[in-house]
Amino acid sequence: MKKELLIASALVSTMGVASVAQAVTASMSGHHDTGLQGSDTDAGADSMSVTNNSSFSVSLSETTDGGVGIATSFMLANEGVNSGLGTAGFTLTFTDGSKLDLINSGNAAGTHDISVPAGAGKADGITLTTTNMAQTGLDFFKEDTGIGFEWHSAADFLADGLKISASYSADNGVAATASTKLDSSWGLGATYVTTAGDTTLTIGAGIADSTWKDSGTAPSNNSGGMHIGLSAVTGDLTVAVGYADGDQVNPTVASGNAENEVADNTVTKVGVKYVTGDITLSAGFTAAEGMDSDTMGTKGTTADSKDITDAGLSYAVASGVTANLGWKNTDSSDEGSSETSGGTSWYIGASMSF
């Protein structure tokens, strides 16, 4: 209870410095993607469908008489079959350049993962079996309850080119029922930018950990892990690599069980991007492997895995309009056995942004 009161007090006391405002500054942004998506699975099943993805976001901001910036946002989204209202908490920007996110703030480990180039468009028509629990993101362990904060340092913190972040989220007090429930989490992250000749180097790293509770058997491993990555930009060429290692608790139903965890999960990502005029060429490779357990007990002895190769071409047709062509190949295995749900997929379409 003390943790929740401290977070609430920080929000109220900080917001109290604002003078009464009649209206805040608002801005809008969004995009609409539409195209054709096809797939050919290893089982020999072919399919083709229309895919649409849209979003519309509103950002609100104002500055107090003391120079503290206050910002928030909300999003009306229709990403394929997923729709709903996405809302953010408050972001306070101080005069020294540091920031503080309050409510729905996220995990600092996820803030500093390196962006690794991959394909283009929505070439993700392959649906693997639900029992394959290998995670493919560099920040798969970045949980937070929403009741917390994330602090971001100003640029050049302690050293030129260095920025750091720290986050914490607290328990909401609701008891876990048949499945697991996130209790609390913390995260640390850092990004360092420097130059070597004509090349700009960006190094990103993060660590995180969380605790979970359960009405029955507690998780044998909590979520947590580390990631590190490097991006090198020389003119129009970008090359990036990333690596992550950790455990993840998944409270959703998997394999007929109400809870699942993935332990000893590793992710390696490599990507390259080249821009020539209005054309962007990109390619990437991801290798992921993890041991999963449906009973929250001893982890499995054989691994789930996903190897993903993707490539893409994007062409800037006009201001805010981009044509995309993407291709992806997915090889997967569940408990050490190859899956026929893997295969290749492709996408051709366009995106309009504002």
Per-residue three-class SS string for 276-327: ECCEEEEEEEEEEEEEEECCCCCCCCCCEEEEEEEEEEEEEEECCEEEEEEE
Which single residue is written with the structure tokens 């139903």?
253
How do residues 121-166 score in pLDDT, each as one tens digit? 787 777 777 777 888 999 998 888 889 999 999 999 999 999 999 9
Give the pLDDT of residue 217. 61
CA proximity to 345, closest of 184, 126, 20: 126
6 falls in which pLDDT band (50, 70, 90)?
very low
pLDDT grade, residue 259 (50/70/90)?
Answer: low
3-state secondary structure of 7: helix
What is the C-alpha separation between 177 and 243, in angstroms, rounded?
Answer: 34
Report pLDDT for 203: 97
Choose the weakest-confidence range: 88-97, 118-127, 184-193: 118-127
Whole-model pTM: value is 0.83
DSSP 5: H
Buried b (16+ CB within 10 A) or exposed e, 183-201: bbbbbbbbbbbeeeeeebe
Domains and CATH numbers, the chain: 41-52+97-353 (2.40.160.10)
Looking at residue 121, what is its pLDDT?
Answer: 79
Percentage of the chain beyond pLDDT 90 is 50
Q: Which among 140, 145, 143, 150 is positioned nearest to 169, based on CA atoms?
A: 145
Q: Which of 113-127, 193-207, 252-266 has the lowest mean pLDDT?
A: 252-266
CA distance 157 to 210: 26
